[in-house]
Amino acid sequence: MRELHKRLLKQTAEMAEQGAFGDSIKMAREEYRELPPGIAVLLKTVIDAYSDGRALGEEILRMRDLFTQLIVVAYRDAARIDQQVALALAHSFIEDYPGVKLSCIAPQFCALLQAALAFREVGSSTSSTLVWQQMSRMVHTYNEFLCGLMGFMIPCLRIARGQPADTRVFSMPYSARIEQMNSLTGGEDGAFYLISRLAKPRIRNAIAHGSAWVDSHTAKVYYTDGGREKQEYELDLQEFALLAMTGSHLVQPYLAAIGTIAVMEDGSDLAKALLPKHLQGLFLFRGKT
């Protein structure tokens, strides 16, 4: 892991310990510190991700579970053919893809975490400006995270389908990564439909360039995107808010997926048995995805 990323993760951890993200996260951080490093910590991330979801409703719980499974399946299918490519996905949080500098997604993950916590903090705010700012930041950061994650998932998907793992994906724009992933998985009609539906490159670009705004009278979000010939698009505010809310729940399932992979590959039989049964079953499945 690069020294810069180590400092970033350390800073995030220190903020959690100081209560910057709320008392519940501060308490959870203290619980994690009492565990021995390694598999025990990773197992707890999985267990916490699923126990925490019970209070959020069935729809959010299903979404988080599906996101976890998609990452695990991408790893599993690639690992049967090329362990190095699969491990790159498993280590995407802390290490660059082999031969691709600055591809580690720790910066995007930390930005996603902070945006998600800020988004939840303003949920009860009466300031429409503040809510819009955090909502648009949430949509932007989760798309940045997905863009980075796709760089690691696409080589896994290619390997599993008999294609070479092409690292040129890391130099592709977000929209091209989405197109390639859709071609590999069937897009919104395929098994990885959740990622296809969440990925919004035009909105992400518009927010990044300050060309997205909300009209409270029409309850719509308007945004422009394009090169020389820009086009204007619109989206119902309710749908935009749903994207932000969904994106705020990607932190836990990503960590749960990384934890599941580590426990199933390196954990004891007891540790494996403590994982949710359906996640254990993914590693026994021998069919095609």
* 107: Cβ contacts below 8 Å, ≥ 6 apart: 5, 8
pLDDT of residue 260: 93
pLDDT of residue 46: 87
Summarised one tens digit per residue, pLDDT across range 3-13 is: 544 554 455 45
pLDDT of residue 36: 57
Summarised one tens digit per residue, pLDDT across range 35-47 is: 556 788 788 888 8
Domain ranges for the chain, please list them.
Answer: 35-282
pLDDT of residue 32: 55
pLDDT of residue 84: 95
What letter represents residue 263's amino acid? V
What letter represents residue 5's amino acid? H
> Mean pLDDT in each 10-residue stretch from start to end of the chain (289 residues)?
50 48 50 66 83 76 96 96 95 92 92 92 84 96 98 98 96 97 95 96 95 94 86 96 96 91 90 94 74
